């Protein structure tokens, strides 16, 4: 598993790998990000396949402003239980 392989890397190697990320060409960075997302989906499931639960009274899942009693609220960010 990849996570075991990372644990085996010395800290200097991991730091070097992370430092190289900003210099990667876009196609390589895109492949890297895609593989990381796929690996996260393997670990804890694909959130795109989970049912969406709206957390705010606006019904917009925190995507826009809500005006209540003359005050501005930004959706779910201020209404989550």
Between 67 and 76, the more confident residue is 67
**Could you give the number of structural domains in the chain?**
2
- Taking the C-alpha atoms of residue 67 and residue 74, their distance in angstroms, rounded to an integer, is 9
Domain check: are 10 and 29 in the same one?
yes
Same domain, 66 and 33: no
Range of the domain at 14: 2-49
Q: Specify the higher pLDDT residue, 13 or 48.
A: 13
Asked whether residue 44 falls in the same domain as residue 17, the answer is yes
- Copy the structure tokens of residue 16: 């070097």
What's the distance, Cα to Cα, between the start and end of the chain in Å? 37
Residue 5 has pLDDT above 60, yes or no: no
Q: 57 with 77, same domain?
A: yes
With b for 16 or more beta-carbon neighbours within 10 A and e for fewer, the 41-74 pattern comes to eeeeeeeeeeeeeebbebeeebeeebeeeeeebe
Whether residues 22 and 58 share a domain: the answer is no
**Whether residue 39 sits in one domain with residue 17:** yes
């Amino acid at each position: 598993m990849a996570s075991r392989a990372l644990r085996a890397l010395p800290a200097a190697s991991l730091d070097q790998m992370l430092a190289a990320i900003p210099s990667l060409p876009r196609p390589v960075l895109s492949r890297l990000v895609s593989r990381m997302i796929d690996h996260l989906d393997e670990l804890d499931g694909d959130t795109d396949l989970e049912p969406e639960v709206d957390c705010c009274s606006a019904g917009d899942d925190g995507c826009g402003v809500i005006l209540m009693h003359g005050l501005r609220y930004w959706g779910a960010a201020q209404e989550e239980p």
